[in-house]
Amino acid sequence: MTAPAASTDVVTLRDLDEPGRVPALVAFVSAVAWLLVGSLLGLVASLKFNFPDWWTGWAPATFGRVRAAHLNAMIYGWASLAMLGISVWLVPRLVHAPLRWPRVATGGIVFWNGAILVGVLALLAGWTDGLEWLEFPRSVVDPMLIVAGGMVGVTLLGTVLGGRARHLYVSVWYVAAAFVWFPIIFVTGNLPVFRGVESAAVNWFYAHNALGFWLTAIGLGAVYYFIPKVLGRPIYSYQLSLLGFWTLAFFYALNGMHHLIGGPLPTWMITTSIVASVLMVIPVAAVAVNHHMSMVGRFASLRYSPTLRFVVLGAVAYTAVSLQGIFTAFREVNRITHFTHWTIAHSHVGVYAFVTFVMFGSVYYVIPRLVGRDWPDGRLIAWHFWLALGGIGAFVLALNLGGVLQGLALMDPQVPFQASVEAAAPWLAVRSLAGVVLTAAHLVFAWHLWKVLRRAPTVGPLPPWHDPRPVVVPPPGPWS
């Protein structure tokens, strides 16, 4: 690897990619391993709704432990690690500077994996903080995550600050902001000073912001890169992309309290959250219009590009989950959907149909550029896509319908509680079937990744997209 010169110069994409290659590969491979672990845990948890007496004699396999292990393996294992991988690959390309301190980034990603392993084992052993999205023991695992994330964050923010691009593309804003926001909300959520309803308020402050300021931020950053990159044309409106970013930054922070509608909290707190949720229509509309208009007239590209196929569907899911979230934040809707499977469907639209699909598409684009060879089998990509789409479609449809029926039954004082359980039962069976399909999709994906990684290095000319294409590096930007 040749370090780029300090002044106006020409480097190559390979120069920019190379330092981030190892940390990105470690992140992607371990992310997919956690995807498989999390899928199996989720499947076991789902089956326990259909067969409540199944596998109850062994405490680690009981629902309360398996469900928490599934959630944390997926959020912090799969999604976060995939996002770390995308970030260390994407940021150097965008700021025209190689990744700073790549060994620190690799160490951080390895340490992050260690934290997840300890955390998942702790949850299965019954050691939990008992807070949604914060189940990992705060005395052991959370400090490890802070250190590990900090190691990666320092390398990325250092790369941005030392960047030499003339402009900070909107994806850099999203990714860099995520690495500033996440430690703040994570530390706040883990402060060990809250009890009872206070704890619930801070818990949802964290959990909702983890979705908006971490998963959404890096997910949208990737969408804003891959759609124009594959289409070979700029995003429809760069103004709208900036509007979307800044309004997310200003309006999102207080959204979380809408999860506590009906709870013993001050009315102003809930109302403020509902107002903030409604304000989210601005960034959501800005992003949705921008992505849609960028694709208009070019939807045929989805037949050719697996990356676009996943990323565009992920972008559509972002719009869907955001509008659903705004809708659900209204008290009249929330009193029906709260405490039902609707919420589970909603979170899966966000974390799976949006974030996971964007990560799948990103991995399909990035891995060949990291290893210098193409994915070996287009049929496996097609299988992966259709299984994932079919699985999440059935999952969301079933739990949305089942959740509403369950909620209506719960609302009716004439209906016994048992009826609400029975109303949801058939939909829970569909959910488990969808879980089987999703797990199959992930196995196909993991198998394909294994195949591309174990193939012999390309002999002869590299694919054209891997050639050392020149990148003109201008004088330092104002942030350098």
Which residues in the 440-469 window bind other proteins by CB under 8 A? 463-465, 469
Asked if residue 38 binds other proteins (CB under 8 A), the reply is: no
Q: State which of residues 55, 127, 246, 327 lies at the interface with other proteins (CB under 8 A).
A: 246
Min separation Cβ 454 and other proteins, Å: 16
- Helix or strand (DSSP H, E) at 473: strand 470-473
Separation of alpha carbons 165 and 192, rounded Å? 42
For residues 158 and 108, the answer to whether their CB atoms sit within 8 Å is no
CB nearer to other proteins: pick between 58 and 459? 459
For residues 33 and 117, the answer to whether their CB atoms sit within 8 Å is no
Asked if residue 225 binds other proteins (CB under 8 A), the reply is: yes
Q: State which of residues 308, 392, 396, 434 lies at the interface with other proteins (CB under 8 A).
A: 308
For residues 324 and 346, the answer to whether their CB atoms sit within 8 Å is yes
Over the range 212-229, which residues count as b (16 or more CB within 10 Å of their CB) and which as e?
Answer: bbbbbbbbbbbbbbbbbe
Asked if residue 249 binds other proteins (CB under 8 A), the reply is: yes
Which residues in the 375-404 window bind other proteins by CB under 8 A? 375-382
For the record, the structure tokens of 338 come out as: 């709260």
Q: State which of residues 9, 18, 132, 374 lies at the interface with other proteins (CB under 8 A).
A: 374
Asked if residue 99 binds other proteins (CB under 8 A), the reply is: no
* Contacting range for other proteins; rule: CB under 8 A; set: 108-116, 224-232, 347-355, 421-429: 224-232
Phi, psi for 101 (deg, rounded to 5): 45, 60
CB nearer to other proteins: pick between 241 and 400? 241
Separation of alpha carbons 175 and 143, rounded Å? 22
Asked if residue 361 binds other proteins (CB under 8 A), the reply is: yes
Asked if residue 307 binds other proteins (CB under 8 A), the reply is: yes
Q: State which of residues 64, 183, 368, 372 lies at the interface with other proteins (CB under 8 A).
A: 368
Asked if residue 197 binds other proteins (CB under 8 A), the reply is: yes
Separation of alpha carbons 237 and 240, rounded Å? 5
Instruction: State whether residue 230 is helix, strand or coil.
Output: helix
Asked if residue 232 binds other proteins (CB under 8 A), the reply is: yes
Which residues in the 251-270 window bind other proteins by CB under 8 A? 253-254, 257, 265-266, 269
CB nearer to other proteins: pick between 267 and 418? 267
Q: DSSP class of residue 199?
A: H
CB nearer to other proteins: pick between 368 and 426? 368
Specify burial of residue 232 (Cβ count, 10 A radius: 0-12, 13-18, 19+): exposed
**Contacts with other proteins: how many residues (CB under 8 A)?**
81
Separation of alpha carbons 216 and 5, rounded Å? 35
Alpha helices in 170-305 (DSSP H): 170-190, 196-209, 216-231, 238-251, 267-279, 281-295
Asked if residue 10 binds other proteins (CB under 8 A), the reply is: no
For residues 146 and 90, the answer to whether their CB atoms sit within 8 Å is no
Asked if residue 349 binds other proteins (CB under 8 A), the reply is: no
Asked if residue 233 binds other proteins (CB under 8 A), the reply is: yes
Separation of alpha carbons 178 and 302, rounded Å? 29
Which residues in the 151-170 window bind other proteins by CB under 8 A? 165-170
* Contacting range for other proteins; rule: CB under 8 A; set: 123-131, 137-145, 149-157, 246-254: 246-254
CB nearer to other proteins: pick between 18 and 377? 377
Min separation Cβ 372 and other proteins, Å: 11
CB nearer to other proteins: pick between 265 and 433? 265
For the record, the structure tokens of 265 come out as: 């909290």
For residues 244 and 314, the answer to whether their CB atoms sit within 8 Å is no
* Contacting range for other proteins; rule: CB under 8 A; set: 50-58, 223-231, 313-321, 334-342: 223-231
For residues 240 and 289, the answer to whether their CB atoms sit within 8 Å is yes
